[in-house]
A and B are shown apart, each in its own frame.
Chain A
């Protein structure tokens, strides 16, 4: 039986997993945070614009 491992943390993974999500989120935490913040800023800005224009 094939054993798949995360190349970052060396943990065994159940077969069929795209990536080890824990390691993915740990590594991508900064870009994800920036993306979420950007979306929030854009959304709130849009709401303000709509509010004042109306």
Chain B
């Protein structure tokens, strides 16, 4: 290190710049908080150079006698030929010069020490406050995320992430910030220091300087974000709304994509506003919305939809729940949105174990919809062989083995969710028999049959319960008792549905367009179980009203006994029909 006492001004400036610049390149393209970075470097610089600098500036007082001018001056006074009075003054000047040097040492030390002490105190308080705020904000963010089960999952590669990569909002910059949270790079915002221009005349490059908020409520959610694994752009609702993951599985041509498209249409257009509901359901991603609109456009004149891609495809639905003004005032986050991830799993994806491993979303799935094409049931297909042959391609019957499709889905869930052998899961499973518009199936497992069953057995008060019993019975009667037993031995919450995505044969679209039959029901039920929509409360209110009406018909105390006790007795799925 060069001796500072002998440095020329240019070298001195270089030394200062060396001491004050960042020691190492930060891992984030952002400047650290002054209190933990620049401030302490200034402090270290001051302590390191204080006495050297003071010594340098004070030395001339002491070495002044060696100076030619002073030496000459003193010689003149010391000259024995000179006057005595001048000799006296020469000593006075010598003492004065010495005292001046000492006082400079003392005053410089006092001032510099005071400055260093003040700076240390200021930086310590600043650092402690920063750490305190970082701790509070991190803990608050963690608690809030835990309560609302907020997480970041990529709908493209299905990987989970602690935080996405945020892109600097400056168009000329666009730098990737991988840890945009309260940290030593900034409590409330990070200042981007990416170079956005050439080196200027002052020798410094032009830096971005954009302030990026570190928390969603401060505006971070408005920034562009990417998946750190696959680098696909994520929509802005991910990580902000509570996620609900629903997988739709089944064999090839079982009608999963048709079911999803029409169920989504019914969910947005009908369910969201029916019966006094006030949900706002939208696509947070433009790509998802365009795909959905394209599918609807293709479906209207009766064109076939494209089969699901080789990789499972997920789309997001932003479900904004209604809340009263009072709830919004006192619970600002009561109106938190839900973000449904709906995974359309290709039937072929189940074929090999290698392809199964791609479907890693099973590890965090909340609910499952298993789609069954009734014409893929061997016994049912045998019974209706001639009719199925007559309908031909219009039926687009699935040839996949239902049991095999289910077993692979179960195996995947077991492996991904780490379920033990024979362990039951509380994840809801909706078993959906599709294409009930064909061969009069609606009269066997649809609404008319359900109404008849409810008349025959008054203890069944809801149509959806009756349909569930009918579909289960239908599967057992058609040789799928093993499938039913297998599903019921693994899933605690299982319900059977019957629906028709199109309400008619493909290619014979009515002028008014296809009207689906109950295709939204499985989606609403699974969303209800996963707290995506408030379907369970609606069911409770409906059951209360039905049971009250049934109880009133009994009259007297029996009505009370029925309403408060008998109607609440658990119902078994195994009761005969």
Contact = CB atoms under 8 A, between A and B. Distances in A.
Q: Do A and B bind each other?
A: yes
Interface of A: 1-13, 17-20, 23-24, 26-28, 31
B563 A5 contact: no
B456 interface: no
Given A1-B489, A12-B426, A23-B540, A7 B572 contact: no
Enumerate the 8 nearest inter-chain pairs by beta-carbon distance, A residue then B residue, closest first: A4-B570, A12-B492, A19-B568, A8-B543, A13-B570, A2-B574, A28-B564, A3-B573
B233 interface: no
B444 to A, nearest CB: 23
A12 B536 CA distance: 13
Contact of A24 (B544, B547, B564, B574): B564
B565 interface: yes
A23 B539 CA distance: 12
B539 to A, nearest CB: 6
A19 B465 CA distance: 18
Contact of B567 (A7, A10, A11, A17): A7
A18 B539 contact: no
Contacts of A8: 539-540, 543-544, 547, 567-568
B189 interface: no
Contacts, number: 74
Given A5-B573, A7-B461, A27-B544, A20 B539 contact: no
A10 B426 CA distance: 13
A42 B573 CA distance: 45
Contact of B488 (A3, A13, A18): A3
A54 to B, nearest CB: 39
Interface in B548-577: 563-565, 567-574
What is the size category of the interface that chain B forms with chain A?
A: 20 to 34
Given A5-B571, A8-B567, A9-B539, 19 more contacts: A1-B488, A2-B572, A3-B488, A4-B572, A4-B573, A6-B571, A7-B459, A7-B547, A7-B568, A8-B539, A8-B544, A9-B540, A10-B536, A12-B492, A17-B570, A20-B570, A24-B565, A27-B544, A28-B564
A37 B501 CA distance: 54
Given A2-B572, A31-B564, A12 B461 contact: no
Nearest to A16: B570
Nearest to B495: A10
B494 interface: yes
A4 B571 contact: yes
B28 interface: no
A3 B494 contact: yes
Given A1-B489, A2-B574, A12-B492, A7 B569 contact: yes
Contacts of B543: 7-9
B493 interface: yes
6 contacts: A1-B488, A2-B573, A4-B572, A8-B540, A17-B570, A19-B565
Interface of B: 426, 459, 461, 465, 485, 488-489, 492-495, 536, 539-540, 543-544, 547, 563-565, 567-574
Nearest to A26: B540
Contacts of A5: 570-573
B495 A24 contact: no
Given A23-B540, A23-B568, A3 B492 contact: yes
A28 B551 CA distance: 14
Nearest to B490: A1
A52 B393 CA distance: 91
A10 B540 CA distance: 9
- Residue of A3, A4, A17, A26 with most chain B CB atoms under a 10 A cut-off: A3
Contacts of A31: 564
Contacts of B536: 9-10
A30 B565 CA distance: 14
Centre residue among B492, B570, B572 by max chain A CB count within 10 A: B570
B564 A6 contact: no
B489 to A, nearest CB: 5
A23 B495 CA distance: 20
A27 B574 CA distance: 26
B491 to A, nearest CB: 8
A6 B565 CA distance: 12
Residue from the set A4, A6, A8 with the largest chain B CB neighbour count within 10 Å: A8
Nearest to A21: B568
A18 B459 CA distance: 16
Nearest to A28: B564
B427 to A, nearest CB: 11
A6 B563 CA distance: 14
B571 to A, nearest CB: 5
B454 to A, nearest CB: 13
Contacts of B574: 2-3
